[in-house]
Each structure stands twice: as structure tokens, then as C-alpha cells.
């Protein structure tokens, strides 16, 4: 293309700041750093994926996010998803559970079961997974502030069912640092919150070695406004904070690093997502090998779920979201994810209907079985465009990481609120671009229809189900052994005040049917609460 021809085209820039050329050649690849780090799939630095044969050997796990109302209602949705082809479960908990409050807590009024499953005691966990083979269906628990009692309940349930914790598989999100940045379901101050994550890492390393105790969640940071480069950079720094804490406890890097996984977001430009993941996977491998001295290749591998993000969906013309989610799933597969989840087309409005969840699942199955995404490993490798932008994205992500580390590190930056402020600024700038039309959103700021029909089935909040949950909790309180509960909670408090790992005591407490609120209440008494720093 002539220089004059290049001047005739409109400039294009990705959200992360990369300026995209209209044409890429071998020259751009070499100037960006070349192809020496591309390597082979399943080999360091894992740019092309963490498994040699990727989807030719095993397609990605389909793990739709689900949970609402009571344990019984959620179990019915779980069984429906498994019947229609889901190969994993991703559990949504309601806001009171996430914040460590019981369903009968006055602060829970109006929120019980609204945006996820209400879990108060081990009895709820037992009911939710009754009849579900936990050896065949892996379960992801999307819980953070209240991760200690919820993980303890899941392990206690598995043990009561005769399962060997040494072979139990699954994942807990349990990424409290991103909660301070992106969602807000914190309970305790930053330092003790990190300590509790360390407790779960240590406990799983010793007793549940096949379980992933942490899924570092850039997803919610991105949904809160971060650019793709910031999402990856903050995610990697948060993961390093957990590594540093676990190492300070005396754990060996190769004993626990492979137990960290990642949860990332996908919306926006497809190629930016691909470059983000290829660059992030390479960076993580280098960090583990060069900074932490990890020798086991499994410790260097970035295992991830990459989901189609709700941040890219629109209320206007909701059926368009089916196509958006299809493209997000395409980006996820082309990026080399191990697990995939899609937001359903109605999620800008409501909890997904069965029909919407069914369409999302079928979307992933069509891409897997009809479109050819499992035919070969990393089909984009060698593209002048993809390899150049992967190199450039790696530099962008590294620059963000260097900036944060120069300001005292990720934990200090989150404690001061500077990361939250940076993400908020990006959210504001993106909203300005959308409102001005600079960033195009079909049906929202272009190709707008004045009068449109929205065929979305709203999910009503049913107060009677919330009352049933409160009654169920009251019944558990009546029949449990109160002396055993008090004794277990007293031991939990002692362990917390002594700085010991609280997971064994939490396991004993939930086995006595202590509630989420009671466990978190004891820890809140020891550690205190958290006041969010506000920066402008």
C-alpha cells in the first residue's frame, strides 16, 4: 500500500491505547520483537496455549454462571444445565451470602436470593448439590469475602458424601483484592483479607491438592472500567501478591502455584482480546520462571476461564447480544482458554431465563462442533498482525505493572484507593466515548430504533422464596447442637486471634451447622471491618 493510500484511511486505536496500522508485514513483526517467544503449544512461554494439542485432545469446559433464589431452585437450574450439555457449574451466590450475612440479618432484607443462591448453612450446600456427581461435574464457587465458610461448607459436604478431599476437583474465585477494586463485597480490611486467602491456599495445598483455591479475577476489574491491558496487568499483580504471601508462610512455589487460576473478561475488539491473552500467558510464564524460580511447567501455566462479558451487552435491541456473545466466545476459543462461560442475551435486564441460558450453551456447542475451532491449535499463530500486537500488548501490560510496582505495589495501591481511582477514570472515559458516538455500539448510539420490541422475560423477585429461606435457617438453628456450634466458633476465634490458619476451625464450625454470618461475624470481631477510601 502506498504512503498516500495509508493517509487516506481513518486511524484506529484499541481501548488499551495501541494504534493499529492498516497493514502488517514481517517488518512490523521484527520491529515489535520478532517471533522467538511464540514457541510451540504446551511449551514455555506458552504463548500458543498451555497444552500441546489443546482442543484437538479436549475441548474447553462449558461452565455457565448460575444461581438464584433458594438452594432447591438453583439445583433445578443446575440439573437443567447439565442435561443440556454443561460440563461444569459456576455458582452465583446472593449478595447477603457474599457479604457474610445470614438471610435473617436485617441488612439482608430485600436481597435474599435476588442475584444468586442464598446459602446460610451446610444444609443449603447439601441441597444445592444433591444428586450431582462431583467427580464428573467440576464446580466453581464464585465467592470472595465469605470464601472461608463457603469453601469449608463445600469441602465438608464432599467429605460427608464419602469423597476423598485429596482427589476433589473444583475452583473457588476467592480473589478478595479484586473485590476492593471491582465489586465491593469485601468484609474485612485488606491485610487480614489477604491472610484469609493465604489460609485457603495453604489448606488446599496440604489437604485438597487438586482443588484451585483462587481464581484471580481480572473479569470484574475490566467490567468496572479497566482497559484490557489494565485488566491483565492488575490481575497478574494480584496473583503475585498471593504468591508472595504464600511464600512468606514457607510454602514452596512449585507446591502451590499451579493451584492459582484466572478468570478474564471478553468484550470489545476481538483482536485486542486475543493479543491480551497471548501476551498475558507469556508474561505469567516468565514471571513464574524468572522472578519466582518455578521449575515445574505446571506452575508456569496460566489456566483460565475466559467469559463473554456483560459489559459489552446492551439493553437496547437485546437480541443483538446473541451475536455479541458469539463473537466473545470465538475470541475466547482463539485465545486458548480452558473454560468458557457466556453472559446470556438478557443479562442487561435480568437473571437469565432458561431459554437465554440455553442459547448461550448452544452457541458454545456450535462453535465447538460445527465451526472448526477445535480443528487445530492456535490457528492465528504466525499472523503478522497477531504476533505484532501480541508483542506490543505485552509491553503495554508490563508498563502498567511497572507503574504500580513503582508506587509501592498492588496491595498498597489498592489500600490507598489509587487502583480504584484509575479504573473509575477509565470507566468515565469509556462512557464519554459511547455517549459521544466515538465508540460505536449498534442499537445504542448507532442504528438506533425509536420504537423497539424487547422480547425479554424478566425474572421477578419473589418475596415468598426469601421467607422460605429464612424459615429454613430458623429450623436449622432449632435442631442443630447449639453447644457444639458455640464451642466450634470459640475455637475459630482463638485460631484467628492467634494468627493460625482458620480453615480447620471453620470446617468444624460449618459441620456443626454454624452459619455463614456466624463464621464471618467471629472473624469480623477479630479483624474489624473495611472502610473504602474515596479518591477524586
Q: Give per-residue pLDDT as tens, 304-346.
A: 999 888 999 999 999 999 999 999 999 999 999 999 999 999 9
Q: Which three cell numbers mark 109? A: 432484607
Picking from 99-103, 192-196, 248-252, 458-462, which range would have the lowest pLDDT averaged per residue?
458-462
Options 2.60.40.420, 3.40.190.10, 3.20.20.240, 2.40.110.20; CATH for 20-58+84-91+139-436 is 3.20.20.240
With cut-offs at 50, 70 and 90, classify the pLDDT of residue 4: very low
pLDDT in tens, 432-448: 999 999 999 999 999 99
What is the b/e burial string over 286-303, where b = at least 16 CB atoms within 10 angstroms of the residue's CB? bbbbeebebeebebbbbb
Contacts of 494 (CB under 8 A, 6+ apart): 505
* Domain ranges for the chain: 20-58+84-91+139-436
Residue 79 is predicted with a pLDDT of 95
* Helices and strands (DSSP H and E) totals, the chain: 23, 12
DSSP 71-139: HHHHHHHHHHHHHTT--EEEEEB-HHHHTT--TTSGGGTTTTTSSSB---SHHHHHHHTTT--TTTSEE
HSE-up of residue 522 (Cα within 13 Å, Cβ side): 25
Residue 256 is predicted with a pLDDT of 97
Q: Which of 298, 291, 284, 144 is nearest to 217 (CA)?
A: 144
Outline where 370-448 has alpha helix (H). Answer: 384-406, 410-416, 418-436
Q: How far is CA 376 from CA 273, 323, 439, 460, in A?
A: 19, 24, 34, 44
At which residue does the C-alpha cell 481464581 appear? 215
Residue 7 is predicted with a pLDDT of 59
Question: In angstroms, rounded to a whole number, what is the distance separating the alpha carbons of residues 413 and 536?
Answer: 15
CB 280 within 8 A of CB 239: no
Tally of residues, the chain:
536
CB 363 within 8 A of CB 340: no
pLDDT in tens, 204-260: 999 999 999 999 999 999 999 999 999 999 999 999 999 999 999 999 999 999 999
With cut-offs at 50, 70 and 90, classify the pLDDT of residue 536: low
With cut-offs at 50, 70 and 90, classify the pLDDT of residue 430: very high
Q: What is the mean pLDDT of residues 261-280?
A: 97
Residue 21 confidence (pLDDT) above 70:
yes
Looking at the DSSP assignment, which residues form a beta bridge with residue 266? 308
Query: What is the helix (H) or strand (E) element at residue 264, kind and residue range?
Result: strand 260-266
pLDDT in tens, 172-188: 999 999 999 998 899 99
pLDDT in tens, 146-155: 999 999 999 9
Sheet holding 211-212, edge to edge: 65-66, 88-92, 138-142, 170-172, 211-212
Q: Which three cell numbers mark 64? A: 455457565
Question: In angstroms, rounded to a whole number, what is the distance separating the alpha carbons of residues 144 and 177?
Answer: 9
Question: In angstroms, rounded to a whole number, what is the distance separating the alpha carbons of residues 228 and 14?
Answer: 9
Residue 130 is predicted with a pLDDT of 96
CB 194 within 8 A of CB 415: no
Looking at the DSSP assignment, which residues form a beta bridge with residue 13? 19
Q: How far is CA 110 from CA 91, 449, 466, in A?
A: 20, 35, 8
Contacts of 62 (CB under 8 A, 6+ apart): 85, 86, 87, 88, 339, 340, 341, 361, 364, 365
Could you give the percent of the chain with pLDDT greater than 70? 98
pLDDT in tens, 449-476: 887 767 787 777 888 999 999 999 999 9
CB 32 within 8 A of CB 388: yes
Residue 6 is predicted with a pLDDT of 54
Residue 458 is predicted with a pLDDT of 79
Residue 2 confidence (pLDDT) above 60:
no
Average pLDDT over the chain reads 95
Q: What is the mean pLDDT of residues 116-134?
A: 97
pLDDT in tens, 470-526: 999 999 999 999 999 999 999 999 999 999 999 999 999 999 999 999 999 999 999
Contacts of 298 (CB under 8 A, 6+ apart): 258
Residue 73 is predicted with a pLDDT of 93
Amino acid at each position: 500500500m502506498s504512503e498516500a493510500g495509508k493517509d487516506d484511511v481513518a486511524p484506529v486505536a484499541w481501548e488499551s491505547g495501541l494504534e493499529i496500522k492498516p497493514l502488517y508485514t514481517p517488518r512490523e513483526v521484527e520491529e515489535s520483537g520478532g517471533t522467538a517467544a511464540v514457541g510451540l503449544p504446551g511449551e514455555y512461554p506458552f504463548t500458543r496455549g498451555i497444552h500441546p494439542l489443546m482442543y484437538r485432545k479436549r475441548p474447553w469446559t462449558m461452565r455457565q454462571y448460575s444461581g438464584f433464589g433458594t438452594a432447591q431452585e438453583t439445583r433445578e437450574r443446575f440439573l437443567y444445565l447439565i442435561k443440556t450439555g454443561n460440563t461444569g457449574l459456576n455458582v452465583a451466590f446472593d449478595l447477603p451470602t457474599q457479604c457474610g450475612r445470614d438471610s435473617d440479618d436485617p441488612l439482608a432484607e430485600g436481597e435474599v436470593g435476588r442475584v444468586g443462591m442464598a446459602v446460610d448453612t451446610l444444609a443449603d450446600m447439601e441441597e444445592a448439590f444433591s444428586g450431582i456427581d462431583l467427580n464428573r461435574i467440576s464446580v466453581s464457587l464464585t465467592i470472595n469475602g465469605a470464601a472461608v465458610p463457603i469453601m469449608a461448607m463445600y469441602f465438608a459436604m464432599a467429605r460427608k458424601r464419602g469423597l476423598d478431599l485429596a482427589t476433589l476437583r473444583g475452583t473457588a474465585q476467592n480473589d478478595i483484592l479484586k473485590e476492593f477494586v471491582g465489586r465491593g463485597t469485601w468484609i474485612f480490611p485488606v491485610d487480614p483479607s489477604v491472610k484469609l486467602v493465604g489460609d485457603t491456599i495453604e489448606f488446599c495445598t496440604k489437604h485438597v491438592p487438586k482443588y484451585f483455591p483462587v481464581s484471580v479475577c481480572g473479569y470484574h476489574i475490566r467490567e468496572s472500567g479497566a482497559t484490557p491491558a489494565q485488566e491483565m496487568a492488575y490481575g497478574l499483580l494480584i496473583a503475585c501478591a498471593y504468591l508472595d504471601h504464600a511464600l512468606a508462610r514457607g510454602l514452596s512455589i512449585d507446591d502451590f502455584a499451579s493451584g492459582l487460576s484466572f478468570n478474564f473478561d471478553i468484550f470489545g475488539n476481538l483482536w485486542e482480546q486475543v493479543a491480551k491473552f497471548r501476551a498475558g500467558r507469556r508474561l505469567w510464564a516468565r514471571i513464574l520462571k524468572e522472578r519466582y524460580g518455578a521449575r515445574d511447567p505446571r506452575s508456569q501455566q496460566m489456566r483460565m476461564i475466559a467469559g463473554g462479558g456483560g459489559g459489552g451487552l446492551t439493553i437496547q435491541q437485546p437480541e443483538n447480544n446473541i451475536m455479541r456473545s458469539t463473537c466473545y466466545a470465538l475470541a475466547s476459543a482463539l485465545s486458548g482458554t480452558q473454560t468458557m462461560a457466556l453472559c446470556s442475551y438478557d443479562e442487561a435486564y435480568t437473571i437469565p431465563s432458561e431459554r437465554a441460558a440455553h442459547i448461550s450453551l448452544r452457541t458454545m456447542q456450535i462453535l465447538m462442533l460445527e465451526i472448526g475451532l477445535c480443528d487445530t491449535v492456535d490457528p492465528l499463530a504466525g499472523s503478522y498482525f497477531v504476533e505484532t500486537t501480541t508483542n506490543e500488548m505485552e509491553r503495554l501490560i508490563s508498563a502498567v505493572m511497572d507503574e504500580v510496582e513503582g508506587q509501592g505495589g498492588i496491595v498498597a495501591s489498592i489500600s490507598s484507593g489509587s487502583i480504584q481511582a484509575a479504573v473509575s477514570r477509565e470507566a468515565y472515559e469509556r462512557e464519554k466515548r459511547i455517549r459521544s458516538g466515538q465508540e460505536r455500539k449498534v442499537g445504542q448510539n448507532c442504528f438506533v430504533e425509536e420504537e423497539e420490541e424487547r422480547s425479554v422475560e424478566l425474572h421477578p423477585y419473589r418475596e415468598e422464596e426469601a421467607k422460605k429461606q429464612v424459615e429454613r435457617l430458623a429450623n436449622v438453628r432449632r435442631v442443630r447442637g447449639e453447644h457444639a456450634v458455640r464451642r466450634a466458633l470459640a475455637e475459630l476465634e482463638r485460631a484467628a486471634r492467634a494468627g493460625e490458619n482458620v480453615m480447620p476451625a471453620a470446617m468444624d464450625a460449618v459441620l456443626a451447622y454454624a452459619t455463614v454470618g456466624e463464621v464471618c461475624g467471629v472473624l469480623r470481631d477479630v479483624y474489624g471491618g473495611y472502610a473504602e477510601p474515596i479518591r477524586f
